[in-house]
């Protein structure tokens, strides 16, 4: 993103946003609700054009790079009449690649094994928990072998214990696959636990407040790190200020 501005009608959304993401990097986009975090993923995916500035994905226009991308949404968006295995093959089928059906099945089995669902491949979405459905969604994203995975608050709808478990599993998967991950969240702890770098966004009209590099080794426990606790406290205070500013504008 280079000096990106975005308007919806006459409403300014982005105010000269600039940031980048490197190969194999795990970057969290963090900001208050409604600031346009998910909008950044739509722009990267070529679903939304910016008003001014430039956005490139691996040196190309977003609309030309869609085959290097895969999405994981807050909702798993699984097809209810397909079992877990066939939901993973669906991504490959829709990309119209040259893989044989047997190759798709083999790859899907390997990925479901990676996400810990080797015993649940024949189960339909209604038979899976919320966390298991999100694991299938992650496997489906990996199945098309993207360079970049865009994750839009994928754990936000899950209970606390499931979120914590899937965060750990996601880091394990990222270490194995070396994919570039851009992870949208409004959860400060989640960003600190997962990301190499955090792109911190302001309220609208949105700008990049700062980019935070998180150097603590994984797995991370915030309570056991002075640096992470300091980041958490500073970000919490900043979010409170942003919320107060928003309320004054509304009033």
Closest CA to 245 of 214, 204, 194, 216: 204
Q: Residue 251: its pLDDT value, please? A: 37
Instruction: With beta carbons less than 8 A apart as the criterion, state whether 71 and 45 touch.
Output: yes
Q: Residue 250: its pLDDT value, please? A: 41
What are the structure tokens assigned to 211, written together? 């980019």
CA 105/CA 89 separation, integer angstroms: 7
Q: Residue 10: its pLDDT value, please? A: 86
Closest CA to 191 of 133, 224, 151, 157: 151
Tell me the per-residue pLDDT of 169-188, one tens digit each, with 9 for 90 and over.
Answer: 999 999 999 999 999 999 99
Tell me the per-residue pLDDT of 135-160, one tens digit each, with 9 for 90 and over.
Answer: 999 999 999 999 999 999 999 989 99
pTM (predicted TM-score)? 0.93
Segments of the chain with pLDDT less than 50: 249-251
Tell me the per-residue pLDDT of 50-64, one tens digit each, with 9 for 90 and over.
Answer: 999 999 999 999 999
Tell me if the bond preceding 234 is cis, omega within 30° of 0.
no
Q: Residue 96: its pLDDT value, please? A: 67
Q: How far apart are the first and last CA of the chain?
A: 33
What are the structure tokens assigned to 175, written together? 């270490």
Q: Residue 246: its pLDDT value, please? A: 57
Closest CA to 169 of 117, 227, 214: 117
CA 244/CA 238 separation, integer angstroms: 10
Instruction: With beta carbons less than 8 A apart as the criterion, state whether 68 and 146 touch.
Output: yes
Residues 210, 216, 219, 225, CA torsion sign: negative
């Amino acid at each position: 993103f280079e000096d990106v501005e975005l308007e919806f009608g006459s409403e300014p959304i982005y105010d000269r946003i600039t940031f980048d993401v490197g190969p194999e990097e795990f970057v969290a986009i963090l900001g208050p609700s409604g600031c346009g975090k998910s909008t950044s993923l739509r722009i990267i995916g070529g679903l939304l054009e910016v008003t001014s500035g430039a956005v490139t994905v691996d040196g190309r226009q977003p609309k030309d790079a869609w085959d290097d991308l895969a999405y994981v949404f807050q909702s798993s968006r699984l097809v209810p009449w397909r079992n877990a295995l066939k939901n993973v093959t669906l991504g490959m089928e829709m990309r119209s690649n040259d893989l044989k059906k047997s190759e798709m099945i083999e790859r899907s089995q390997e990925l479901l094994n990676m996400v810990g669902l080797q015993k649940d491949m024949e189960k339909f979405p209604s038979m899976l928990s919320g966390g298991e459905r999100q694991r299938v969604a992650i496997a489906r994203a990996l199945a098309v072998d993207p360079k970049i995975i865009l994750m839009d608050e994928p754990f936000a709808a899950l209970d606390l214990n499931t979120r914590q478990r899937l965060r750990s599993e996601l880091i394990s998967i990222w270490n194995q696959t070396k994919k570039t991950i851009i992870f949208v969240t409004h959860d400060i702890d989640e960003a600190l636990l997962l990301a190499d770098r955090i792109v911190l966004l302001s309220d609208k009209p949105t700008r990049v407040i700062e980019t935070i590099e998180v150097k603590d080794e994984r797995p991370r426990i915030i309570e056991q790190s002075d640096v992470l606790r300091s980041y958490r406290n500073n970000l919490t205070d900043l979010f409170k200020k942003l919320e107060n500013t928003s309320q004054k504008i509304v009033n």
